[in-house]
Amino acid sequence: MLKLIKCEFWKLKRKGLFKIALFTSVLFPIFNIMLLSGGDLADVMSSVREESGFLLLIPMLVIMAANLFFEEHDNDTLKNLICVPVLKKRLVMAKVIVLILFSVAYELAGFCISVLLAVAQGISLSGWGLQLFLTFCTGVLLWAAALPCIILVVWCNRSYIISVIIAFFYTMLQYALHLSDAIMMKPLGLNIGTFIPVPIIFRWLYQFKVPEGKIMTEFYNRFSPYFISTPVVFLILAAEAAVCISLVIRVYQKQEV
């Protein structure tokens, strides 16, 4: 399995998209630090986890997944791999592991850039340990949030353009749903608010924000009953990730070689 993961990683690294994706991890932190007229490290890091993570990382993961899953078909190498033999299940798992490693690395790259910018701006690094923990966890959770869209991409088995379109609409829909009180302000249970990935991650993240000003304090107090703990959010998204990976394996196995 380790050799397969290395092979998938080197295939991805050869793509120009890999370098472009890593470069985008610094964009929002730079823009955010330029707009801040104060604040602390948590304010700087919010752009890494929210804007950069939810708006850029999720579609990047889906597009990279399309590259990984389509490459064997494009180069007609899947038959050779199966003859080795390499099980399709192991191929899927190797690709999925590469994606989670990239997701965490993307978030941590944004964290490092944010810390350097904060030091350059004279911003206190107080609470950096919590921010590192939240950033690492967000990288794992965003990987899980991208998996339902990856199922669609693998199932459609079409062009990269279709994959980009699917990724764009999935990201915009998920991000828009977290703005809906009808989705966000739901108790845990058998309801749509519990199982949509991006809103559930925001319900976990919001509890770590320090409310400033009357409006933010009122929002915090109104929303606080719907906060989700770290173990719960990981439990929900781990279960969803397991289901999604199983479905990806089934779809990939049924596709013609």
Report percent pLDDT > 90 for the chain. 19
Residue appearing with tokens 């340990």: 129
> What's the pLDDT band for 224 if we cut at 50, 70, 90?
confident
pLDDT of residue 49: 81
Q: Is the pLDDT of residue 74 over 70?
A: no
Phi/psi for 127 (5° steps) reads 80, 20
Collect all residues with Cβ–Cβ distance below 8 Å to 196 and sequence separation of at least 6. 174, 177, 183
Collect all residues with Cβ–Cβ distance below 8 Å to 138 and sequence separation of at least 6. 49, 53, 107, 201, 205
If we measure between CA atoms, which residue out of 178, 177, 155 comes closest to residue 166?
A: 155
At position 110, the amino acid (one-letter code) is G
Q: Is the pLDDT of residue 77 over 60?
A: no
pLDDT of residue 197: 92
Cβ proximity of 243 and 218 under 8 Å: no
The DSSP annotation for 33-88 comes to HHH-SS--HHHHHHIIIIIIIIIIIHHHHHHHHHHHHHHHHHHT-HHHHHHTT--H
Residue appearing with tokens 């690709």: 95
Q: What's the pLDDT tens digit per position in 139-189? A: 999 999 999 998 888 887 766 778 788 888 888 888 888 888 888 888 888
* Residue 46: burial class (beta carbons within 10 Å; 0-12, 13-18, 19+): buried
Count of Cβ atoms closer than 10 Å to residue 125 Cβ: 13
pLDDT of residue 133: 93
pLDDT of residue 18: 66
pLDDT of residue 86: 65
